[in-house]
Amino acid sequence: MERPMPWVMPKRHCADIGAKMRPRYPFFAGVLVLVSALVVLGACEQAFTTSPLSWLERDPDNMSKDQQIRYAEDALRSGSKSSARKAYDALSKNVDADDPAELNLLLADLAMNASGFADTTGDLLELAFAEDLGNADKLAEQLEPKLGDLDYDYVLKAKEQIDQVHAKGETASEQAYLEVGLALAMRAANANDGSFDPDDGDEWGDAKDFAAEAATRLDDSDLLSDFDGYLN
């Protein structure tokens, strides 16, 4: 099946969104801009083809490594969080320092799917447009319960896989850095009663360090530079 050409949100629209939110919630504005861009980009990256249900219902723990890789790829295409969890838990046991970094990137994608990140950011984007980005208090009020929807254990697993990519001398994609970095920021906010102040609580350390590393590795990325600027 031919994949559709990706549509990317023009930078001027991102700037408009940020400008509307910046007066009272500057960091939240940046997060929302990144959420918006990620949802659009991520939706275009997946080929929406699903393997037969019987294949995904199999236990990947009982598969060979090559079969686990195929299962992992199919789990990502399916969008199933439970399949992504099973795929991650099985394949991560068989990936070590001698394996190519591509497998760590695959594991990072699985962990982010398993965390429910895509569902949460989709909800936030829908909320943002429903409010027309004009009611910052309402957005902030409704953001806090959304923060609790993520499985942050898998967010941290995704970060660990990106760390392994770096240990192997490779670099992740802009989208991978943004997704994991934003999820780490959401984790910190969730631990601090919904506060998106990056100086509020020790939990922000992981997000800050990750954003700085990503911006350094992909120094031509405006989004990563902006994200690092919000945090650091």
Structure confidence at residue 147 (pLDDT): 87
Q: Is residue 86 part of a domain?
A: no
Number of domains in the chain: 1
Q: Is residue 60 part of a domain?
A: no
Name residue, tokens 């949100």. 9
- Of 20-29, 30-39, 65-74, 200-209, the poorest mean pLDDT is in 20-29
Q: Is residue 145 part of a domain?
A: yes
Cα 218 to Cα 28, 35, 222: the distances in Å are: 23, 19, 9
Burial, 15: exposed, middle or buried (Cβ in 10 Å; 0-12, 13-18, 19+)?
exposed
Structure confidence at residue 3 (pLDDT): 34
Q: Is residue 80 part of a domain?
A: no
Residue 1 has pLDDT above 50, yes or no: no
Structure confidence at residue 38 (pLDDT): 59
Q: For 26-54, what is the mean pLDDT?
A: 53
Q: Is residue 65 part of a domain?
A: no
Q: Which residues are CB-contacts of 170 (< 8 A; sequence separation ≥ 6)?
A: 101
- The H or E element containing residue 17 is helix 11-21
Rounded percentage of the chain residues whose pLDDT exceeds 70: 66
Which has the closest alpha carbon to 208: 178, 175, 177, 230?
Answer: 230
DSSP assignment letter at 83: H
Classify 194 as helix, strand or coil: coil
Residue 174: domain span: 11-45+95-231
- Report the C-alpha gap between 116 and 128 in whole angstroms: 19
Q: Is residue 58 part of a domain?
A: no
Residue 196 has pLDDT above 60, yes or no: yes
Q: Is residue 141 part of a domain?
A: yes
Residue 99 has pLDDT above 90, yes or no: yes
- Of 29-43, 100-114, 139-153, the poorest mean pLDDT is in 29-43
Q: Which residue has the higher pLDDT, 89 or 57?
A: 89
Q: Is residue 40 part of a domain?
A: yes
